[in-house]
Amino acid sequence: MHKLKYTMKGGAIFVGFDKYDIVQAISESSFAPCDTTEIWMQECANRIKVQFGYKLDYYNADTFIDELLKFDLLQEIK
C-alpha cells in the first residue's frame, strides 16, 4: 500500500497510509490541539467557517480531507 502525501500553504507536508492518518498528522501539528481527532475536525471546521466562510463536512476523516481539497486548503502531492 502506498502512502498518501499532502501539503498545505506554508509548505508543511503530511504523510499517511489513509486519510485518517493525514487528519491525525494535521491535528498534531495544530496550534489548537483537542482531546480527540474527531473533536479537532469539528473545531477546525468551525475555525475555517469563521476565517474563510467555507462550511466543511467533518463527518469522518475521508470527508474532511475531501472538503479541505475541494476548498484548496490542502493539496495532494503525487
| pLDDT tens digit sequence for 36-54 | 999 999 999 999 999 999 9
* C-alpha gyration radius of the chain: 12
Does residue 32 have a pLDDT over 70?
A: yes
Residue 75, phi then psi, degrees to nearest 5: -130, 140
Is the pTM above the cut of 0.75?
Answer: yes
Domains of the chain, by residue range, sit at 4-73
DSSP 7: E
Task: Indicate the burial class of 43 (C-beta count within 10 angstroms; 0-12, 13-18, 19 or more).
Answer: middle
What pLDDT sits at residue 1?
62
Cα 42 from Cα 9, distance rounded (Å): 21
